[in-house]
Amino acid sequence: MADLRIAVLIDADNVSHQYAGPLLEELAKFGRTTVKRAYGDWSGENMKGWKDKLNKHAISPEHTFAYTRGKNSTDSALIIDAMDLLYSGNVDGFAIVSSDSDFTRLASRLRESGKTVYGVGRERTPRALQEACDQFLLLELLGTVDPATTTAADEPDEPGEPEAAPDLPNLQSLLTRAVNNAAGEDGWANLSSLGANLRRLFSAFEPKRYGFDTLLPLVEAQPFLVVDKERQRVGLKGQVTQAKPAARRAPAKKTAAKKATGA
C-alpha cells in the first residue's frame, strides 16, 4: 500500500546508526515515513555516530536521560509517543526499530487498534517481539556495515550475555501450511500469495534466512513441492490438478460442391 503513512520509532540505544539509511530505504517500500524519531541518551559517547544520520535522514532526536543503569527511560518515551501517535489518527502504521522484547506488548496493542506494525531488529531478537509484528525485518539483511568505519562506540550498550538467535521454524512445515492456506481448489498457490502467507505464519520470514536469495529458488529446491515456473505458482506434490492438454480440433468437413447454377 504505497500511501500507508508510517511512523518510524527508533530505539537508538539499541540500534547502531550504521543501519539508519538501509532501514529507512526498506521501509519506504511499504509506504511514506511521515514520522521519524530516534530515542536515546544523546549525552552518551556511543551515540555520537547518530548525529550525521539524524541530519541526513531528517530524523528527530528525542532525548531521554539514562538516570539508572538497567532502567531504560528510552523505552518509556518511545511507548508514550507511540500511543500519542495512535490516538492522533495521523498514521496508518508503525515501524518499531529495536531488538528489545520490552516492546512486544506495544506492537500487539498497536495491531489490536488496526495499525500495521513492522518490526526491525537483529536476528537474535526474541521470537515474542518478532511474532507480535505484521512483518519483522532483520537488520543484518538490510545492508552491509563497513567494518572500517565502525568502532566499539557505534555498538549499542547491552550489558550481560548476548541472547542466542531464536530457532527458525521448520521449513517443510512452514511451506506446507502456507501452500494449503493460499491454494485454490486445483491445489495451486500463486507465488506472491504464498509469500504473503509465509509472512503471516512467520513474520520474520526471509528466503535469505534459509540460504536462498528469493522465494522462487527456495521453493524449487524443495522435493515435496511442484513448481509451475511459467505461471508463477506452487503446489504440494501429488495434490495439484495438472492442466489438461487442449483437445485437437477435428478438421472441418468439406462441404459438397455446389451444383452448377440452373441444374
Residues 6+ apart with CB under 8 A from 68: none
Q: What is the per-residue pLDDT for 147?
A: 43
Cell 447454377 locates to 261
Sheet holding 135-138, edge to edge: 60-63, 32-40, 5-11, 93-97, 116-121, 135-138
Q: Report residue 65's pLDDT band, with 50, 70 and 90 as the boundaries.
A: confident
Average pLDDT over residues 19-40: 94
CB neighbour list of residue 141: distance below 8 Å, 6 or more residues apart = 206, 208, 209
**pLDDT tier at 159, thresholds 50, 70, 90:** very low
Measured in whole angstroms, the distance separating CA 178 from the mean position of its chain's CA atoms is: 16
Higher-pLDDT residue of 46 and 35 is 35
Residues constituting the chain: 263
Quote the pLDDT of residue 149.
45
Query: What residue spans in the chain does CATH classification 3.40.50.1010 cover?
Result: 5-154
Measured CA to CA, the distance from residue 172 to residue 219 in angstroms comes to 10
Under CATH, which number does the domain 5-154 receive? 3.40.50.1010
User: Does the structure show a pLDDT above 80 at 252?
Assistant: no
19 has pLDDT over 70:
yes
Domain limits, CATH 3.30.420.610, in the chain: 171-236
Sheet of 225-228, strand order: 189-190, 233-236, 225-228
The Cβ of residue 258 has, within 10 Å, a number of other Cβ atoms equal to 7
What are 228-238's pLDDT values in tens digits? 999 999 999 98
The pLDDT, as a whole number, for residue 34 is 96
- Provide the Cα torsion 155, 97, 26, 134; round to 10°: 140
CATH architecture classification, 171-236: 2-Layer Sandwich (3.30)
Neighbours of 12 (CB within 10 A): 30
In percent, the amount of the chain with pLDDT more than 70 equals 79
Average pLDDT, the chain: 84
pLDDT tens digits along 111-155: 999 999 999 999 999 999 999 999 999 999 886 554 444 444 455
Q: Report pLDDT digits (tens) over 181-231.
A: 999 999 999 999 998 888 888 877 888 888 898 999 999 999 999 999 999
- Decide which of 69 and 76 is more confident: 76
Q: Does residue 254 carry a pLDDT above 70?
A: no
Please check the confidence at residue 246 and state whether its pLDDT lies above 70: no
pLDDT of residue 148: 40
Between CA 234 and CA 190 the distance in angstroms is 6
Please state whether beta strands 225-228 and 233-236 pair in parallel, antiparallel, or not at all (unpaired).
antiparallel
Q: Name, in order, each residue with C-beta under 8 angstroms of 150's C-beta and a sequence gap of 6 or more.
A: 16, 18
pTM, to two decimals: 0.72
